[in-house]
A = this chain, B = another copy of it.
Amino acid sequence: MHKRLKLGMVGGGQGAFIGAVHRIAARIDDEFELVAGALSSKPEVAQQSAAQLGIAPDRAYADFKEMAKAEAARADGIDAVSVVTPNHMHFPVAKAFLEQGIHVVCDKPLTANLDEAKQLAEIGKASKVEFVLTHNYSGYPMVREARHLVQSGALGKLRRVNVEYAQDWLSEAITDPENKQASWRADPKQAGKGGAIADIGTHAMQLANFITLQTPEILAADLTSFVKGRLVDDDAHMMLRYASGAKGYLLATQVAPGNENNLRIQIYGEKAGLTWAQENPNQLWFAPLNAPKQLLTRGGHGTSAQTQGQIRVPPGHPEGYLEGFATIYRDAADLIRNGRCENCLLPTLEDGLLGMQFIEAAIQSSAHDSAWTRIGD
């Protein structure tokens, strides 16, 4: 008999964006049911939000620490918690639940600064429960197919990695105080000192790392705040060098009119190239050297058995952002139930730490006239 895992959530109350995404993602494959929450730090909002989501009043908490304790103490307590707060709360919330032996699914970036990230990585290592970071783009089937192609050697030795994440929603100063999204993300106290570099740059970096199975060794970055009065970068560009000899660039910009969520990656190896773009994620261009380009489709002809096994609807019926996100939850359920990570495709605490090191390196490089800077020192 199918039994759903019991899920709690911290953050994600009324007016929030990413909480709703996590809830749908957790629901799509029917592996989780949401039964508890500390959805807002404002008790009234927390209660109302919980009621709207069908959470029983006695499991609608105003305080995440209380929730962690209470749920750990219940016989029917939650198996896992989703952490969907602003960045600066990731650390204390994740810590509280990890310490209570409750699995954690946490939004990215891992924390608001590198120190917290290092601490959390230690806490995670010491813990017996799992920690999953929702770098959701790695849940797209064609991203996994791209990784498969690299891993299988179809591209040969890699030479160049170009990754861009371009948005336009921060092209102007956000003056509406009601825009909860924009306001916390632009506030270094809540988001950390990185702007675009943290919010979307980490996604781009993780995507590249995920597909290439490599991490750049050093970077030379140029971060900019184009919009007057903005306290964090809204445009981050850098050159990358890999230990393997590969080179690359990463661009994360939120001031590029005409771009909604234009996350795009190009990878070139000695034997082939590939291109994938998030806004039409069901396609992957594969270009073997000296042969015609192929347009691979999600689960379509020429894709791997692994990718074909991960799709929910047949080729030509597009899956989107929520399905990619749901795959992270589906895999997380598998990990939680079975204690193992099939093919290690789930983003981990180490990926989260790496992301924070990446942010730190980019900020340091940019502060030192774009000097080549090691990621991870």
Check A54–B172 contact: CB distance below 8 A.
no
A323 to B295, CA, bound (A): 24
A45 interface residue per 8 A CB criterion: no
Over the window 150-164 of chain A, the binary record of Cβ atoms lying under 8 Å from chain B Cβ atoms (1 yes, 0 no) is 000000000110100
Over the window 356-377 of chain A, the binary record of Cβ atoms lying under 8 Å from chain B Cβ atoms (1 yes, 0 no) is 0000000000000110100000
A177 interface residue per 8 A CB criterion: no
Which listed residue, B2, B53, B54, B294, touches A294 by the CB 8 Å rule? B294
A293 interface residue per 8 A CB criterion: yes
Check B257–A2 contact: CB distance below 8 A.
no
A272 interface residue per 8 A CB criterion: yes
A272 to B172, CA, bound (A): 11
Known A-B contacts A17-B314, A239-B222, A257-B288; the reply to A51 vs B1 at CB < 8 A is yes
A337 to chain B, nearest CB (A): 14
Residues of chain B lying within 8 A (CB to CB) of residue A313: 21, 320-322
Residues of chain B lying within 8 A (CB to CB) of residue A73: none
Binding-face segment, A110-118, A119-127, A258-266: A258-266
A97 interface residue per 8 A CB criterion: no
Number of copies of this chain that the complex holds: 4
Which listed residue, B249, B266, B317, B372, touches A237 by the CB 8 Å rule? B249
Binding-face segment, A8-16, A23-31, A75-83, A99-107: A23-31
Residue of B nearest to A224 (CB): B247
Check B260–A297 contact: CB distance below 8 A.
yes
Residues of chain B lying within 8 A (CB to CB) of residue A370: 220, 239, 370, 372
Check B17–A24 contact: CB distance below 8 A.
no
A149 to B241, CA, bound (A): 36
Known A-B contacts A3-B54, A370-B220; the reply to A295 vs B297 at CB < 8 A is no
Binding-face segment, A61-69, A84-92, A278-286, A345-353: A278-286
A187 interface residue per 8 A CB criterion: no
Residue of B nearest to A370 (CB): B220
Known A-B contacts A247-B222, A261-B314, A318-B318; the reply to A255 vs B372 at CB < 8 A is no
Check A258–B275 contact: CB distance below 8 A.
yes
A301 interface residue per 8 A CB criterion: yes
A148 to chain B, nearest CB (A): 14
A168 interface residue per 8 A CB criterion: yes
A250 to chain B, nearest CB (A): 10
Residues of chain B lying within 8 A (CB to CB) of residue A319: 320-322
A302 interface residue per 8 A CB criterion: yes
Check A296–B292 contact: CB distance below 8 A.
yes
Check B257–A247 contact: CB distance below 8 A.
no
Residues of chain B lying within 8 A (CB to CB) of residue A214: none
A343 interface residue per 8 A CB criterion: no
Residues of chain B lying within 8 A (CB to CB) of residue A53: 2, 30
Check A259–B316 contact: CB distance below 8 A.
yes
Check B257–A273 contact: CB distance below 8 A.
yes
Check B168–A318 contact: CB distance below 8 A.
no
A298 to chain B, nearest CB (A): 9
Q: List 15 additional contacts besides A2-B51, A2-B54, A237-B239; criterion CB under 8 Å.
A: A2-B53, A24-B29, A159-B224, A220-B222, A237-B249, A249-B249, A253-B268, A255-B268, A256-B268, A257-B271, A258-B285, A259-B316, A279-B282, A280-B318, A294-B295
Nearest 9 pairs between A and B by C-beta?
Answer: A260-B316, A258-B287, A261-B316, A320-B320, A257-B273, A2-B54, A318-B320, A317-B321, A292-B302
Q: Could you name 15 residue pairs across A and B whose Cβ atoms are closer than 8 Å?
A: A1-B51, A2-B52, A2-B53, A28-B322, A160-B253, A171-B289, A237-B249, A258-B273, A258-B293, A261-B316, A292-B294, A294-B295, A317-B320, A319-B320, A322-B322
